[in-house]
């Protein structure tokens, strides 16, 4: 274990996925723009990052994702219309989306998997710890998962994943973690990570969900990570390497989340 005094300032949000599960709703619209109550799903994720001080946000985008950029941009004509009408509530709501953080965009190019998407962030992130938030998981704003994970990253100097307990029959939809209790309050050490194991081969029923706080050492590992499950470069496989090694930026830890999570990928 090494301590790491470099603060976490940046969030990476992969949004290049095709959203095939939601067709035809996502034929011409990014799945991240599907509304959840009164906002597109992606806005909750960006608000979560900004809410814990991660104002520098990089979205890994792809073709047909331009609506995402438009959503977080200013729309002067719309703002002027709302102002002229005196509709301050809507004006505030519209302006709030363009005032959220400092958002950057890079395209993934080839759809080679989550590990490949995260590797596209290497240049922007540089050599500092960073968070990864997947848009399929929405975490209730009253829960403190991401800030707890940042704390664990700062304490351990390694990488941190979020875990939930699932029914054993569900584990094949997730990365799965074999853990060790190291007597710490609030986190465990990850001994092994396996991407989407069959139920009878899974080392546990602890599933990795879409929040990560990673040491930048993961980039060098990802550069050498061969395609794994589904022929894709898996973030889980790169983290497994970091979990098994010792030294600077090595070690992977898990925060078991028991709060409120909404899975937009299956609902
Ligand atoms: C990805 C990861 C998987 C993780 C999941 C969480 O899978 O590869 O390890 O459990 O996100 O949402 P995906 O759902 O993109 O197939």
**Is position 2 within any domain?**
no
CATH number where 18 lies: 3.90.550.10
Q: Which strand (E) or helix (H) includes residue 123? A: helix 122-125
Beta strands in the chain (DSSP E): 10-14, 35-36, 39-40, 56-61, 102-107, 130-133, 137-139, 159-165, 175-180, 188-195, 206-214, 252-256, 261-263
* Block residue for tokens 């060790």: 180
- pLDDT values of the chain reduced to their tens digit, one per residue, 267 residues: 444 468 999 999 999 988 888 999 999 899 999 999 999 999 999 999 999 999 999 999 998 899 999 999 999 999 999 999 999 999 999 999 998 989 999 999 998 999 999 999 999 999 999 999 999 999 999 999 999 999 999 999 999 999 999 999 999 999 999 999 999 999 999 999 999 999 999 999 999 999 999 999 999 999 999 999 999 999 999 999 999 999 999 999 999 999 999 888 653
Total of domains in the chain:
1
Cα(151) to centroid(ligand 1), Å = 23
CA 6 to ligand 1 center in whole angstroms: 27
- Whether residue 3 lies inside any domain: the answer is no
Among 48, 43, 50, 265, CA closest to 142: 48
Closest atom of ligand 1 relative to the 174 alpha carbon: 10
Among residues 137, 147, 159, the alpha carbon closest in space to that of 210 is found at: 137
**Does the residue 239 lie in any domain?**
yes
Instruction: Give domain status of residue 1, yes or no.
Output: no
Whether residue 114 has its Cβ less than 6 Å from ligand 1: yes
Place of tokens 């990864």: 132
Beta bridge partners of 98: none
- Asked if residue 22 is part of any domain, the answer here is yes
Instruction: Check if 195 has its Cβ closer than 6 Å to any atom of ligand 1.
Output: yes
Rounded Cα distance between 175 and 237, Å, is 9
Of 114, 141, 110, nearest in space to 12 by CA: 114
The answer as to whether 247 is a domain residue is: yes
41 part of a folded domain: yes
Assigned domain for 165 exists: yes
CA of 114 to the centre of ligand 1 (A): 8
Tokens describing residue 71? 């959503």
Q: pTM (2 decimals)?
A: 0.95
The residue range of the domain holding 72 is 8-263
């Amino acid at each position: 274990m090494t301590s790491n005094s470099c603060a976490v300032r940046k969030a990476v949000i992969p949004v290049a996925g095709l959203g095939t599960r939601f067709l035809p709703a996502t034929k011409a619209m990014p799945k991240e723009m599907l509304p959840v109550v009164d906002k597109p799903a992606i806005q909750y994720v960006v608000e979560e990052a900004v809410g814990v001080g991660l104002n520098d946000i990089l979205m890994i985008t792809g073709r047909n994702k331009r609506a995402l950029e438009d959503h977080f941009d200013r729309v002067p004509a719309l703002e002027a219309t709302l102002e002229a009408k005196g509709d301050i509530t809507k004006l505030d709501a519209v302006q709030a989306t363009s005032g959220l953080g400092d958002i950057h965009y890079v395209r993934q190019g080839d759809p080679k998997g989550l590990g490949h998407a995260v590797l596209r962030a290497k240049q922007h992130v540089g050599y500092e710890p960073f968070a990864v938030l997947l848009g399929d998981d929405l975490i209730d704003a009253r829960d403190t998962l991401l800030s707890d994970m940042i704390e664990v990253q700062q304490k351990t100097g390694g990488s941190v994943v979020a875990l939930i307990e699932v029914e054993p029959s569900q584990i094949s939809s997730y990365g799965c973690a074999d853990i060790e209790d190291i007597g710490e309050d609030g986190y465990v050490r990850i001994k092994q990570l396996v991407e989407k194991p069959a139920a009878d081969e899974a080392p546990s029923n602890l599933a990795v969900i879409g929040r990560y706080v990673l040491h930048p050492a993961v980039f060098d590992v990802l550069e050498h990570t061969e395609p794994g499950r589904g022929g894709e470069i898996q973030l889980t496989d790169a983290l497994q390497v970091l979990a098994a090694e010792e030294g600077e930026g090595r070690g992977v830890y898990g925060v078991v989340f028991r709060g409120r999570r909404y899975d937009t990928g299956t609902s």
